[in-house]
Amino acid sequence: MEIFANLFNILYQFLDSFSFLILSAIGLAIIFGMMRIINLAHGEFMMLGAYITSACYLAGIPLLFAIILGAIGVGIFGLIIDRLVICHLYGRPLDSVVATWGISLIMTQGFLILLGATFEGPSTPLGSFVVGDRNYSVYRILLVFIAISLLIFMYWIFMHTKFGLKSRATMQNNEMASSLGTNTKRMNTITFMVGSMFAGLAGGLYAPTMAITPSFGSAFLMESFITVLVGGANPLIGTVVSGGALGVVNSGLSYLYGTFIGRVGLLIVAILFIRLWPFGFSGLIEKKMMRVK
Amino acid sequence: MKRLTAENVTAGLLFIFLIFYPLMASAYNVLNMSYFLSMVFLSLSLALIWGLAGIFSFGQTAFFGIGGYSYAIISLNLDIPDITFIVLISALLIAGIAAWILGYFIFYGGVNDVFVGLITLCVTLVLATFMSQTAGSQWKIGSVPLGGDNGINNIPSISIGNIISFERNYLYYLILIVLVVVYLLLRKISHSKSGYKLIAVRENRERSELFGYNIPLIQTMVFTLGGVLAALSGVFYVTWGGYISPSSMGITAAALPVVLVAAAGRKNLTAVILFTIIYYMFSQYLSVTGSEYALVVLGFTLVVVILLVPQGVFASLFQLLDRLLFKKK
């Protein structure tokens, strides 16, 4: 029984870490994979999602709908940001990093000035259960299922819809896609919007579990970048595999030595990994598949 | 450099002004100017690796912090005020080695462009978080407690034997002389063969590689040099204030050099120096009237500059003046 409880604890920590990495990285990975743009304001987009979710929840809207509204709100915000800033920076990845960083500074400090240091958020729903002598949150287990179903949903979007086909065409060869009649600029705008929506959704999902502050996004910042870094260019394969692998590293180190070492370990493993396989897991897997063919 | 251009004229006037500044200004203002000048090195380090070699790094403040903390820890441990000049050099060495190790993993791993920015940002944040949780008494190096968020205090100033101790006006002139030397060296480098190598790496890595240049080596070397410059800034900063804390590496501090260099014009060293000094003078004025909008203004500046004047404000201004005054194409 003791062993079972311990094993369950380890599994729970791993799944928790896995879903955290996947959810925080998924929006960033879509935008990077399709547009080669790293959205440094990604964490702040999540923060915006969390704020919208909390505000809706406080206005009496059920949590589920509040989270959906958060995602839609951030999606619209992403559309505006794309039209105002990002669309002028297509094909200039370094400049877009600097510009999105500017946006992130404005958002963090702007929220601090407008709404103060703390904001009342929803409490964690669904209660908890006991295994061995530890408490586990049901909501966190639910997040794991949501993360997995989001991945499946993303797979469906990109592999089985017309939008997915066009966006993959844009990703593989922008000029060719546009000469065959795909409006690649619009694809980029939609991609940025979808990526923002995923960021808002993730922010809303984590709103009940964390303190809602203007620096909400910084909790996700490093994890999301590292997941995308290790995952490489392919938002589907890369994110899943690197989320899984980094989840093992993070939960293992956190279990043994505490959360801070878990985060540092994540960074060091990522740097070593990139030294060995510069194109991340997507590059590694694509290479293996090419060899089979 | 003998040519008469708006940039050279500005640089000449600026340095003449700085040389005579202590004669005109009050002791308080000279002290402040020493601080501004020590921060110029941080901007220069980013201008070197980003503007010249095309390596985008958020992590210059990490090396700033490594330099500052190394100087503080070593000098306080030794507790011999006469040899702090050697401590300065060893602090630069430590930062250089750290930059070399990080650069080795990044550039020999083939990481480039955006991802260099991400890795350096993560390293900086982890370092800042690590230093700010070192408040307890178990966090000590030698006899010096690291002090967590409060940082380290009472750091001695730079001295050579007991001949000269660099404080107040001496410190000002030390920083100014080093700045002029570094500036002229960097200008010289950027017009030399090694400078052209860096520009080649910036413009087209694949083509330069096919010409037989060792790209990762060149990138690692220039990244190391950038790290040493940033550390120099850190050491001057701690000897100026006698104090360093983790917030000097945090996200706000890391934002600043990027904003300054991007807004001034990252390929133009003179523009970077001038803009950094003007920014710090302005920000000191602003901090009297309330600084919570400072970050918003900084972020806004970044976005606007990138969208409207990607070359940088001052660099574009120099070009305009050249066209008007010196009839250059």
Q: Does A17 score more than 90 pLDDT? A: no
**Residues shown for chain A:** 293
* Bigger pLDDT: B314 vs A290: B314
ipTM higher than threshold 0.85: no
Which pLDDT value is given to residue A112? 84
Q: How far is B322 from chain A (nearest CA, A)?
A: 26
Closest Cα to residue B315, out of B41, B47, B56? B47
The span from the CA of B113 to the CA of A99, in Å, is 15
Which pLDDT value is given to residue B258? 84
Give yes or no for A173 touching B (CB within 8 A): no
Counting one residue from A and one from B, how many pairs have CB atoms under 8 Å apart?
110
Beta bridge partners of B234: none
- Residue A120: pLDDT band (50, 70, 90) is confident
* B-chain residue closest to A81, CA distance: B303
Beta bridge partners of B164: B160
- Residue B182: pLDDT band (50, 70, 90) is very high
For A83-99, the pLDDT digits (tens) are 888 888 877 777 788 88
- Residue B1: pLDDT band (50, 70, 90) is very low
Q: Does A70 score more than 70 pLDDT? A: yes
**Which chain A residues are closer than 8 Å to B105 by Cβ?**
271-272, 274-275
Tokens at A45, concatenated: 């987009």
Q: How far is A28 from chain B (nearest CA, A)?
A: 13
Q: Which of A88, A94, A271 sits opposite B113 (nearest CB)?
A: A94
* pLDDT (mean) for B266-282: 86
| Yes or no, beta carbons of A99 and B292 under 8 Å apart | no
Which pLDDT value is given to residue A109? 83
SS3 assignment for B211-262: CCCCHHHHHHHHHHHHHHHHHHHHHHHHHHHCCECHHHCCHHHHHHHHHHHH
Which pLDDT value is given to residue B287? 63
| Yes or no, beta carbons of B105 and A271 under 8 Å apart | yes
Would you tell me which residues 165-194 of chain B have a C-beta closer than 8 angstroms to some C-beta of chain A? none
For B283-306, the pLDDT digits (tens) are 777 665 556 777 787 788 888 888
Which pLDDT value is given to residue B98? 92
Q: How far is B200 from chain A (nearest CA, A)?
A: 17
Which pLDDT value is given to residue B165? 67
For B75-130, the pLDDT digits (tens) are 888 777 777 778 888 889 999 999 999 998 888 877 777 778 878 888 888 888 88
| Yes or no, beta carbons of A106 and B125 under 8 Å apart | no
- DSSP assignment string, B21-90: HHHHS-HHHHHHHHHHHHHHHHHHHHIIIIIIT----STHHHHHHHHHHHHHHHHHHH--GGGHHHHHHH
- Residue A63 neighbours by CB under 8 Å, 6+ apart: A53, A57, A122, A125, A208
Q: Which of A97, A113, A274 sits opposite B109 (nearest CB)?
A: A274
* A-chain residue closest to B123, CA distance: A267
* B-chain residue closest to A111, CA distance: B296
- Residue A72: pLDDT band (50, 70, 90) is very high
Secondary structure (3-state) at B168: helix
Give yes or no for B286 touching A (CB within 8 A): no
| Yes or no, beta carbons of A267 and B123 under 8 Å apart | yes
| Yes or no, beta carbons of A94 and B110 under 8 Å apart | no
**Residue in B101, B114, B259, B307 to test binding to A, most A beta-carbons within 10 Å:** B114
For B137-153, the pLDDT digits (tens) are 777 777 777 777 777 87
* pLDDT (mean) for A260-275: 81
Give yes or no for A95 touching B (CB within 8 A): yes
| Yes or no, beta carbons of A101 and B105 under 8 Å apart | no
| Yes or no, beta carbons of B108 and A275 under 8 Å apart | yes
For A156-174, the pLDDT digits (tens) are 888 888 888 888 888 777 7
For A173-219, the pLDDT digits (tens) are 778 888 888 787 888 888 889 889 999 998 888 888 888 888 888 77
